Amino acid sequence: MFFTKVSSSPLTHQHRSVAPESDLVRYTAVFAIPTPITDDSGIAHAIEHLIFRRSTRFPNPSTLFKINALASVKINASTTDGITYYFCQSDYIDDFLLAFDYLVSNIFSPTFSRQDLPFEVHGSGGKGVIFRELQALEKTIKFRNTALSYTQLLSLDSSNQRISLYGGISDKLTNITVDKLTEYYQTHYRPERVTLYTELAEVKPSDSFNKIIHLLQNALTQRDCFNERLPEKNDEEKQSILKESVCTELNDTLLTSCWIPVSYITTIKQNYCVIKGFDVKDQLQVLPFDETKNGAEQFALRFIHQSNLSKNIDSIISYLVDILEQEGEKATLSENNNINSTKQQDQVSHIMKWHINALRNTTGSQPSKLEVTSTKIYQQAVLSMTKPAAQTPTSLSSLYDNGRGFPASFLVCNKQGSHYSADINSLSYPKAPPQQIPRLFSPLKQAIKTELDKSSILFNKQTSKDLFIEQVLGCYDKDHFLLCFSVKNQHAVKVTVLSYLLAGSSQLLAPRLAGLCYATDIRFLKGENALYIYTAFDINPQNRISSVLEGLTSLQQDTDYLKHYLLSAKDKLAKELVSTHETDSIDLSVSDIQEMIKELVIIIKNNTTNIKGLHDTAIYNHRSYTT
Ranges 282-291, 374-383, 614-623, most confident: 282-291
For the segment 585-605, the average pLDDT, to the nearest whole number, is: 89
As a whole number of angstroms, the distance between CA 400 and CA 561 comes to: 11
Query: With left for phi above 0 and alpha for psi between -120 and 50, is residue 227 left, alpha or beta?
Result: left
Residues 6 or more apart whose Cβ sits within 8 Å of residue 510: 396, 397, 399, 400, 547, 551
Q: For position 577, what pLDDT does the model report?
A: 77
Q: For position 579, what pLDDT does the model report?
A: 42
As a whole number of angstroms, the distance between CA 296 and CA 365 comes to: 7
Residues 6 or more apart whose Cβ sits within 8 Å of residue 17: 199, 200, 201, 202, 203, 204, 205
pLDDT tens-digit series, residues 203-245: 665 788 889 999 999 898 887 545 443 344 444 443 443 334 3
Three-state SS at 198:
strand
DSSP letter string, 498-542: HHHHHHH-HHHHHHHHTTSSSEEEEEEETTTTEEEEEEES-S-GG
Cβ proximity of 146 and 182 under 8 Å:
no
Confidence of residue 540 (pLDDT cuts 50, 70, 90): very high
Give the torsion sign (CA, 578, 583, 588, 594): positive
Cβ proximity of 297 and 332 under 8 Å:
no
Cβ count near 508 (within 10 Å): 27
Cβ proximity of 257 and 92 under 8 Å:
no
| HSE, side-chain direction, 13 A CA sphere, residue 162 | 21
Among residues 389, 514, 390, the alpha carbon closest in space to that of 121 is found at 514
As a whole number of angstroms, the distance between CA 568 and CA 501 comes to: 9
Average pLDDT, the chain: 79
As a whole number of angstroms, the distance between CA 588 and CA 565 comes to: 12
Q: For position 610, what pLDDT does the model report?
A: 52
Confidence of residue 614 (pLDDT cuts 50, 70, 90): low
DSSP element (H, E) containing 550: helix 544-556
Residues 6 or more apart whose Cβ sits within 8 Å of residue 539: 125, 126, 127, 132, 516, 517
Q: For position 51, what pLDDT does the model report?
A: 97
DSSP letter string, 283-320: TEEEPPPB----TTSEEEEEEEEEGGGHHHHHHHHHHH
Q: For position 70, what pLDDT does the model report?
A: 96
For the segment 42-53, the average pLDDT, to the nearest whole number, is: 96
As a whole number of angstroms, the distance between CA 329 and CA 76 comes to: 39
Cβ count near 220 (within 10 Å): 17
Q: For position 239, what pLDDT does the model report?
A: 40
Whether 369 has a pLDDT exceeding 60, the answer reads: yes
Task: With both helix axes pointing from N to C terminus, report the angle between 492-504 and 590-607 in degrees, rounded to the nearest 10.
Answer: 80
Cβ proximity of 90 and 200 under 8 Å:
no
